[in-house]
C-alpha cells in the first residue's frame, strides 16, 4: 500500500538557493514541454508523447547549459507531471494544463530516486543539494519511492515522501445498521450525526476575517517591488496558512474520531465545485472544506477496512420524513425545522437529513459501497495519506 509522509524541511541559505534553482528549472521544462506539445498539435496536427519530449531534453540542455546544474531526473519528472495533468484533464478531473507561474503560491519539484533518508541524523540527502535538515516527527517502514520538495508562499519548506509499506488494505466489512452513522455536512454546524450529535463549525476563515482585512489593507498601501511590500505579503500569506493549518487539524481529528468510533459511515456526495459558484455561500463553503474532509474519510475508512457508504446529492434527504417516508416538496433552505403533515413528527432539518442519509445508504448498500469520489488532498496535508495510483 502506498502512503505519503510529509515532513518539515530546514534548509540552509545556500540550500534554499539550490532549491530555488531546481524549482525554476523544473518550471521552465514544464512550460517548455507544454508549449512544444501545443505547437506540435496546432501546427502539425500531431500529439507528442511523454517520451518524444524526454528525448528532446538532452538537446535542450546542450542549448541551455544552466539546466545541467540541477538533478536531471527532476527535469524528467516535470514532463511526467505535465502528462499526468493532461490525463486528469481528459478524464474530466481537472482543467486543461496551463503554464506554471514564477510567483505561484506553492511550488515543488520531485526527486524520483537517488535520495537518502537518515532518521538518526534527521536529514535527507538530495542530489545536487546535499544533506538537508528534516524534522522527522514519525518514522516509517517500507520501500521509498519518490520524494517531493515543496516551498510554500510563507517561505516554509516541506519534504513529501511516497512509501510502499507492503500492506494490503483489508476488504470493507458488511455495514451493521446499528453501528452505522449518517453524516450531514452543513454550515450552521459542520456536521450533524444521525445519533443526534452535532459538531460545531469552527469557521476559521470567518473568525480571522477582521485580522486578514487589516493585513490586506496594509499590503495594498505598500509600494510594489519594495521590501516592505514583501514583508506585508508574507504576513497575509502566514495568516492564510494559519487558517489552513487550523482547518486541516480539525478535519483530521474529526475524521479520525468518526472512523474510530463507528463500524460504517454514510455520507452524501457533494458537488463542492458547483456549490461554491453560489456567491452568497462561496466563502463559507470554501471555509468548511467539505471536499478535503470527505477525502480524509475515504482513505481512513479504506485503511481501517470500514465501509464508507454514499448517497447521491439529489436524494431528498432533508425533505423526506425519516419516520414515515412522507416527502415535503415545498421545503425551502430557510426552513430549519418542519412538522410532517402525515405522521405529525417535528423534525430538525439537519438531523432528519443525517438519519435519511444513513437509511438511504443502508437501503442501497450494494450500490453505495463504492468509495467516495477521489478529491485532491492538497499539499497542505500534514498526516500521511495513501497516494493515488497515478503517482
- The set of cell numbers assigned to 241 is 496558512
Q: Identify the bridge partners of residue 164 per DSSP, sorted by sequence position.
A: 2, 143
**If you write DSSP's letter for every residue of 196-233 in order, what string do you get?**
S-EEE---HHHHTHHHHHHHHHHHHHSPTT-HHHHHHH
DSSP letter for 157, please: E
- Does residue 178 have an active-site annotation? no
User: Of 177, 159, 198, which is closest to residue 365 (Cα–Cα)?
Assistant: 177
> From CA 188, how far away is CA 348, in angstroms rounded?
13
From the CB of residue 348, how many other CB atoms can be counted at a distance below 10 Å? 15
Task: Point out the catalytic residue in the list 184, 287, 315, 384.
Answer: 184
DSSP letter for 188, please: S
Catalogue the long-range contacts made by 193-198 (C-beta closer than 8 Å, 24 or more residues apart). 193/354, 194/266, 194/351, 194/354, 194/355, 194/357, 194/358, 196/351, 198/350
> From CA 131, how far away is CA 19, in angstroms rounded?
12
Task: Point out the catalytic residue in the list 44, 95, 261, 350.
Answer: 350
Cα→Cα distances 105→10, 152, 233, 237, Å: 19, 6, 11, 9
Per the CB < 8 A criterion, the answer to whether 369 and 307 are in contact is: yes
Task: Point out the catalytic residue in the list 52, 268, 273, 342.
Answer: 268
- Residue 287: CA atoms inside 13 Å, Cβ hemisphere, count? 19
- Does residue 350 have an active-site annotation? yes
Non-local CB neighbours of 32 within 8 Å, separated by 6+ positions:
60
- Does residue 287 have an active-site annotation? no
> From CA 192, how far away is CA 183, in angstroms rounded?
6
> From CA 264, how far away is CA 182, in angstroms rounded?
9
> What is the C-alpha R_g of the chain?
24
Sign of CA dihedral 292, 156, 202, 137: positive
Q: Which residues are catalytic?
A: 184, 268, 350
Amino acid at each position: 500500500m502506498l502512503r505519503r509522509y510529509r515532513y518539515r524541511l530546514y534548509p540552509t541559505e545556500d540550500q534554499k538557493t539550490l532549491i530555488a534553482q531546481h524549482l525554476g528549472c523544473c518550471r521552465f521544462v514544464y512550460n517548455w514541454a507544454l508549449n512544444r506539445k501545443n505547437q506540435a498539435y496546432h501546427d502539425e496536427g500531431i500529439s507528442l508523447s511523454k517520451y518524444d519530449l524526454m528525448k528532446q531534453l538532452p538537446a535542450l540542455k546542450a542549448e541551455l547549459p544552466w539546466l545541467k546544474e540541477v538533478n536531471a531526473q527532476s527535469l524528467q519528472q516535470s514532463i511526467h507531471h505535465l502528462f499526468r495533468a493532461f490525463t486528469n484533464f481528459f478524464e474530466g478531473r481537472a482543467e486543461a494544463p496551463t503554464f506554471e507561474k514564477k510567483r505561484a503560491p506553492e511550488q515543488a519539484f520531485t526527486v524520483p530516486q537517488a535520495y537518502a533518508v537518515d532518521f538518526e541524523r534527521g536529514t535527507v540527502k538530495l542530489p545536487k543539494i546535499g544533506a538537508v535538515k528534516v524534522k522527522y516527527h514519525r518514522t516509517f517502514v517500507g520501500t521509498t519511492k519518490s520524494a517531493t520538495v515543496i516551498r510554500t508562499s510563507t517561505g516554509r519548506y516541506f519534504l513529501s515522501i511516497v512509501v510502499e509499506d507492503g500492506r494490503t488494505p483489508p476488504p470493507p466489512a458488511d455495514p451493521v445498521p446499528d453501528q452505522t452513522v449518517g453524516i450531514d455536512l452543513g454550515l450552521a454546524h459542520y456536521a450533524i450525526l444521525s445519533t443526534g450529535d452535532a459538531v460545531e463549525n469552527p469557521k476559521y476563515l470567518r473568525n480571522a476575517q477582521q485580522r486578514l482585512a487589516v493585513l490586506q489593507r496594509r499590503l495594498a498601501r505598500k509600494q510594489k517591488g519594495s521590501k516592505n511590500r514583501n514583508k506585508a505579503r508574507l504576513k497575509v500569506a502566514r495568516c492564510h496558512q494559519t487558517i489552513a493549518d487550523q482547518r486541516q487539524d480539525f478535519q483530521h481529528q474529526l475524521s479520525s474520531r468518526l472512523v474510530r468510533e463507528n463500524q460504517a459511515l454514510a455520507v452524501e456526495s457533494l458537488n463542492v465545485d458547483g456549490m461554491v459558484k453560489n456567491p452568497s455561500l462561496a466563502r463559507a463553503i470554501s471555509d468548511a472544506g467539505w471536499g478535503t474532509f470527505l477525502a480524509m474519510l475515504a482513505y481512513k475508512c479504506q485503511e481501517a477496512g470500514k465501509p464508507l457508504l454514499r448517497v447521491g446529492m439529489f436524494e431528498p434527504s432533508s425533505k423526506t420524513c425519516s419516520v414515515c417516508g412522507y416527502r415535503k416538496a415545498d421545503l425551502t433552505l430557510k426552513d430549519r425545522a418542519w412538522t410532517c403533515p402525515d405522521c405529525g413528527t417535528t423534525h430538525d432539518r439537519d438531523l432528519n437529513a443525517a438519519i435519511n442519509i444513513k437509511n438511504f445508504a443502508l437501503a442501497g448498500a450494494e450500490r453505495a459501497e463504492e468509495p467516495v469520489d477521489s478529491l485532491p488532498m492538497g499539499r497542505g496535508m500534514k498526516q500521511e495519506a495513501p497516494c493515488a495510483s497515478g503517482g
